[in-house]
């Protein structure tokens, strides 16, 4: 009789014991037209995956190439070369990390890369002489396709009369 009660008790409690051990995940609700997805907090999403680090050899190669080009173009002295190399290493490492960690969130990646670029410019301004920085800025703008003052005064927009007409 005791064994019967013990067996019946085990059979009655087994399903609840099994359910207690499984983690219940809430099912996502289907999206309804015209509603927006609620934003999740950054702290909830942050521990989802660890930050990836770029290969150090690749970072150093790219930073050394940047430094070498700047040394030739701006006639940097040895002290400036080392400081610029450190700035370039930090910047390249940051950009590569952002590319690895935020490749799915392009806006976030662009924002981080822009911030790194601004910080790099500020640091370079402190290391380079005013003439060197001005030359660097001109070359940088030329490479990025930023129009200079002469280009702005050039051709009128299509469909608009020129000033001489």
Could you report the per-residue pLDDT of 3-58, keeping only the tens digit for each?
554 544 445 544 444 444 445 555 555 555 555 555 554 444 444 556 778 889 99
Structure tokens at 81: 């070369």
For residue 150, the model assigns a pLDDT of 53
pTM value is 0.59
Could you report the per-residue pLDDT of 113-157, keeping only the tens digit for each?
999 999 999 999 999 999 999 999 999 888 888 766 554 555 655
For residue 51, the model assigns a pLDDT of 73
Could you report the per-residue pLDDT of 73-121, keeping only the tens digit for each?
999 999 999 999 999 999 999 999 999 999 999 999 999 999 999 999 9
For residue 50, the model assigns a pLDDT of 65
**Contacts of residue 103, Cβ cutoff 8 Å, sequence gap at least 6:** 109
Residues 87/127, Cβ–Cβ less than 8 Å: yes
- What is d(CA 26, CA 121) in angstroms, rounded to the nearest whole number? 47
Label residue 2 by pLDDT band (50, 70, 90).
low
For residue 106, the model assigns a pLDDT of 92
Neighbours of 30 (CB within 10 A): 5
- Give the three-state DSSP class for 34: coil
Residues 69/86, Cβ–Cβ less than 8 Å: no
């Amino acid at each position: 009789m005791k064994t019967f009660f013990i067996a019946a008790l085990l059979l009655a409690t087994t399903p609840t014991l099994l359910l207690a051990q499984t983690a219940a995940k809430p099912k996502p609700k289907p999206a309804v037209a015209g509603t927006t997805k609620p934003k999740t907090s950054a702290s909830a999403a942050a521990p989802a995956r660890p930050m990836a680090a770029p290969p150090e050899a690749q970072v150093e190669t790219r930073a050394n190439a940047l430094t070498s080009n700047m040394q030739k173009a701006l006639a940097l002295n040895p002290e400036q070369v080392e400081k610029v190399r450190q700035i370039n290493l930090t910047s390249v490492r940051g950009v590569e990390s952002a590319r690895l960690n935020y490749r799915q969130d392009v806006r976030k990646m662009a924002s981080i890369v822009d911030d790194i670029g601004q910080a790099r410019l500020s640091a370079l301004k402190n290391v380079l002489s005013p003439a060197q920085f001005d030359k660097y800025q001109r070359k940088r703008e030329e490479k990025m396709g930023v129009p200079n003052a002469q280009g702005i005064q050039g051709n009128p927009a299509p469909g608009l009369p020129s000033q001489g007409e």
